Structure 1
Amino acid sequence: MTSTDRQRGPRIRVPRAHHTAEQPPVGPTRSDTADAVIDCAVYVDGQRQPPVEPVASLERARAVGGFVWLGLHEPSQAEFETFASRYGLHPLAVEDAVNAHQRPKLERYDDSLFMVLKTARYVEHDQLTATSEVVDTGEVMVFVGPEYVITVRHGEHSGLKELRAGLERQPDMLRQGPSSVLYAVADLVVDHFVETVAAVEEDVEELEASVFSPDRTDDIGRIYQLKRELMQLRRALNPLEGPLTALAERQVEQVPEQMRSYFRDVQDHAVRVREQLTAYDELLASILQASLARTSLADNEDMRKISAYAGIIAVPTAIAGVYGMNFDYMPELRWHYGYPLVVLVMVLACLGLYRAFKRSGWL
């Protein structure tokens, strides 16, 4: 695979920990009425402000001229309703955020944006089998308004704790407002796709080596399973290009002009990952055809060997069948050396046939 190192501006580099979820911060920032709240903070001029109760965070952000970032994990309908009414979220977007299982999309509701992103994680395994789970997907929903950004995660990976910490170390980026968080989340999601595809490449290479190895292997089931996993990745990534294109090329009220170049960079790398997925899928199709052809060739070789040995065995069988007819007058029937001569003829005939089949490549 080509190098995935990015050449970009203020890159938000954070440690990757796929299985790490956001941890609640110390302080009274978690409301008893919203158990799904992972973190909530108000940011003014790129700086995190003292802790505030989530239910009062929006009022606090308005009072100090900043914005609030509220992080939720798999909220129930009742837990989300408290914030939906305070933030004025559209009921359709709220329903999508609670129920999950949405395809990537970008929707505009009055003065807010609602974006759905699919996340991906490579599932480690000792050996690829016909039933291996290679890719695990989740979802991140992002609500963006003039004074708030709400992230809703579904799944046990792609936590945003490190992402939030990385952004807090870059106040210049946070000064761009809620759209900076949307960019950082989209960038993180695409980076996870890059990492997942890089790991899948190793499985593709292992299958390719197995199919063309001297040993006889049955890889058809494993190839088909990996193609299914790649299809799952493509279904999660391909629809994301549309929303990223809209954020990068169209004028969106919630996204300042200076942020569009960042979304354009994310879009570019999403396209590159999509092209890599397409290439791997086509390569797997070729490997599958090669595996089928090799299996067919092996079956033909087996049939030729069986036919050759059947031809060799047919000679002594025919001779024994003739002498087993019990006629009174047969060549050398009463001769003292008749039996060893017939056996010798059988052996020489079998050796001759074996040598002929060996030269022709049937054995």
Structure 2
Amino acid sequence: MPFPSWINETTLCANGQCNKPNSMYERIADIQPGYQWNDAGGYCGSWATQRAVLSKGAWISQQQVRDHTHNCGGHDSEILSCNIDEAWKNLKIEYDAFDFNKEPVPQTAAYAKWLKAQLVQGHVVAWMIMWSGQDYPIYNLVPPAGMYGHVEPVIGIQSNHPLNDTTVYDDDVVVHFTDGGVNTVHRPISTLPCKWAGMGKPADCGEYSYGVGNPYGFGWAAKGFTQDPKPYQLAALKIQPWEREPDTRSGEKPEPLAGTLTAYELTPGATYDIYRWDSVKEAFTYTNEYKKITFAATTDTYVYTDDKSFMSEGTTYYRVVKA
């Protein structure tokens, strides 16, 4: 879903929300912001998925996300709460989802606790938010389905308390992209809940233009990938160009992307292999044809710039494993 007509990134950055606050502790994924496709209902769910898996070392086109699920009420296979699980499973994404179907309402406190628990582990969360002033549910869906108007990647958390403290504090700050620009938004977790008056009524998020977690909370945390038989190292992918994926849905031509993979938590002196697969079907088949390089770690991180590009309309997965 695209922004409503009264929302833009300037609105979202009002009152300094795009200025990073000073906090004692933080964990923020090192991934790139950018712009979703806005046609066919908006590709926000696909874009949030794409950015989430970059943090785990993969590129997935926005169209590929839709192509791996079914229509459940939006524009063709627009990503909603009723089909995102299928898309992520079919794309071999390992994830944890907030159980909005079973959690008692209002889900505000439970959702905040779940969200913090995912972010402190370094998992990027695709959350579904409500716009203040927009009527819910969307698309004539039956709640909890349709109780949102946009999907974004939440990339981290800031706190004045150690991150192993599971308590949710009012001044904990969640960090997220908007899908519609290059800024990063910082929002105190205590300010997130909106009010909703009932079927067909608009959300009221007070002084903010959006919110989450009341009465329902929606979130999918990307943990890694399934169908992977080997232990692996944490790795994140950056791409060039990074700001906008060519919109093949509207007739733009795909382009080659250059990938730079950063592996983390390596053991100095150990030897590692980097694998790459360019399709969902092939992914995590550990044979020599998919091996890119072997390297010996000298520090706990390693940066690999791939000498072969991949096309923007596809899927590309990387893995770093001990040799």
Between structures 1 and 2, the one with greater strand share: 2
Shorter-chain TM range is under 0.3
- Name the TM-score, length of structure 1 as normaliser: 0.19
- Name the TM-score, length of structure 2 as normaliser: 0.21
Between structures 1 and 2, the one with greater helix share: 1
